[in-house]
Structure 1
Amino acid sequence: MTAPVEPERPRRAGARRAAQKPRRRRGPIETTIGVIGELLITAGILVGLFLGWQVWWNNLVLSGQQTSAAQQQSKKWIDEATATPRPTPTDSTTPVSVDPPVMARPSDYEPFAVVYIPRLGADWKRTIRQTVDVEKVLNSYTAGVGHYPDSQMPGEVGNFAVAGHDSGWGNTFIDLSKLRVGDRIYVQTKDGWYTYLFRNFEYVQPTQVQVIAAVPRHPDVQPVDRLMTITTCNPPFHAGERLIAYNVFQGFSPTQDVPNEIRAAVTGG
């Protein structure tokens, strides 16, 4: 059975007038403000996407390039050493605790070492170039770590001091604060492997450059120890202070004696 259709009720007068009332057209000023607002929202979205690309994707790509460059440099030295092996190879598990060779000071921007820090990642490695020039070294896709030119060289008595970004341009030292006492840091040059052990952190203001003195914080004292100092900005994505990681020399091994802890990272296996 079909339900009866109720007769349409008459509308109230006020409702009829509201339905018949035309919408007010926006004036030119309101239209302009609306367009500007939409453009600002679009610009904000584009800026957000760009920052996301810059912080994440660009760092990911650059980190891969820096790792690849370090791998190639490391392999080149190992291949050269294998072709003309040293007469006194050692057990790769224990570096030799003798006076290590100290290389001549390199030219500006020259790659002279590769640093491996297992705590920062199983495949983490970076090339070290001479000077801490931001554009040519720290931001470079073939480096990432720079050597303070007035500090000592690897294995030399004094302080071998290096620097790298914490965030941006490959996020070189973004995880540096994860180091634990006794963690090994391996510095490879054409002469061999210099092993350092992490000792402690210090947080300082950017103006406190005494941390890279031959005796950190005591520039007038004659050094007797072999140290390595790593400096980076802190906290990540800011540059309000500096995070300093101090490391002490443990020993030296010839180039062909790849340390067991980083063998896979060195050989790519």
Structure 2
Amino acid sequence: MTSGAARAGRWVLGLTGDLFVTAGLVLLLFVGWQLWWTDVTANRAQDDTVNSLSREFAAGPGPVSAANQRPAAVPFGEAFAIVRIPRLGADYARPVLEGTSRDILMDGVGHYTGTAGPGAVGNFAIAGHRTTYGRPFHDIDRLRSGDRIVIETRTQFHVYAVRRHVIVAPSEVDVIAPVPEKVGVKPTGRWLTMTACHPKYSAAQRYVVFAELEKSYPRAKGLPADVLAAPKGG
């Protein structure tokens, strides 16, 4: 090989190496944006939505459906409730929006359209990100039997108690059936089902938490202070 060809070869190799390094840096920046910056912006937006809902709820009830105690005819993508989970912190509060599309889950927790409303007979099923976009269900695996989950609406506080969890394939949609995991069975209980991707940073499976309604409190009477107390242990 001539010296000119050798120099050309070294130049090509150097250029290729530079390109790989640049591509790696771009990839790292993209991952950083996905895992950090989307959390920053989503948390800010979700906090604003919670604050807005709290003000609306405090102003008094508007038109509601007696069957499910959520605002009548909730438009797809609109926030209508707040979920509070003491196990995940005293300040944990996330908005619940109608629908579970990708865009909606960027803005908070999504309600599976067609499932029961908060406090209603059947299965109030919701989904949330475990990573990125505020990751509202990042620590869903920390929930323990007996932990309380509060769904706050314009008219009521619905207090659910965690019963159990399962890990399933994404195709196992029977977890959001009116009676969880029992398709075709007529519901008599009042369930809350929470779903999120599993394991963290993967969508290979779904982590599912089932909770059962303990009690509903009229908003006008307020929520007992001990309901939102931090649980002991774990």
Q: Pairwise mapping of residues 215-234 of structure 1 onto structure 2 (< 5 A)?
A: 215-234=179-198
Structure 1 unaligned runs (5+)? 1-23, 85-98, 265-269
**For residues 214-265 of structure 1, what are the alpha-carbon distances to aligned partners after superposition, in whole Å with 9 as ceiling and x for unaligned?**
111112111111110001110011001111100010111122414425779x
Judging changes above 3 Å, is the alpha-carbon distance between structure 1 residues 200 and 110 closer, same or farther for their aligned structure 2 residues?
Answer: same
**Contact persistence 1:100–1:251 (CA under 8 A):** no
Other-structure match for 2:225: 260
Structure 2: how far apart are the matches of 1:124 and 1:38? 45
**Structure 1 residue 236 corresponds to structure 2 residue 204:** no
Tell me what 2:232 maps to.
none
The answer on 1:67 being equivalent to 2:47 is: yes
Aligned residue number for residue 249 of structure 1: 213
The question of 1:45 aligning with 2:25 is answered yes
Match of 2:105 in 1: 138
- Inter-partner Cα distance in structure 2 for 1:261 and 1:56: 34
Instruction: Report 1:1-269 matches (<5 A).
Output: 27-80=7-60, 102-103=69-70, 104=72, 106-135=74-103, 137-140=104-107, 144-256=108-220, 257-261=222-226
Structure 1 residue runs of 4 or more that deviate by more than 6 Å after TM superposition: none
Offset from partner CA, 1:77-109 (integer Å, 9 cap, x none): 02336xx9xxxxxxxxxxxxxx99634452322
CA distance in 1, matches of 2:149, 2:228: 13
User: Kindly tell me: are residues 216 and 263 of structure 1, through their superposed partners in 2, closer, same or farther at Cα, counting changes over 3 Å?
Assistant: closer
Q: Which runs of 5+ in 2 are unaligned?
A: 230-234
- The answer as to whether partners of 1:139 and 1:169 remain within 8 angstroms in 2 is yes
What is the identity, as a one-letter code, of the residue corresponding to 2:192?
A: M
Give the TM-score normalised by structure 1.
0.75
How much does 1:55 deviate? 0.6
Output the TM-score relative to the length of structure 2: 0.86
Larger Rg: 1
Which letter maps to 2:8?
A: P
Q: Is the 8 A contact 2:53 2:80 kept in 1?
A: no
The code of the aligned residue for 1:210 comes to D
User: RMSD between aligned alpha carbons?
Assistant: 2.4
Amino acid at match of 2:44: G
- CA separation of 1:34 and 1:183: change in aligned 2, threshold 3 A: same
Separation in 2, partners of 1:259, 1:113: 19
Q: Tell whether the 8 Å contact from 1:114 to 1:128 is kept in structure 2 after alignment.
A: yes
Identity value in percent: 34
**3-state DSSP class of the match of 2:60?**
helix
Q: Which amino acid is 1:51 matched to?
A: V
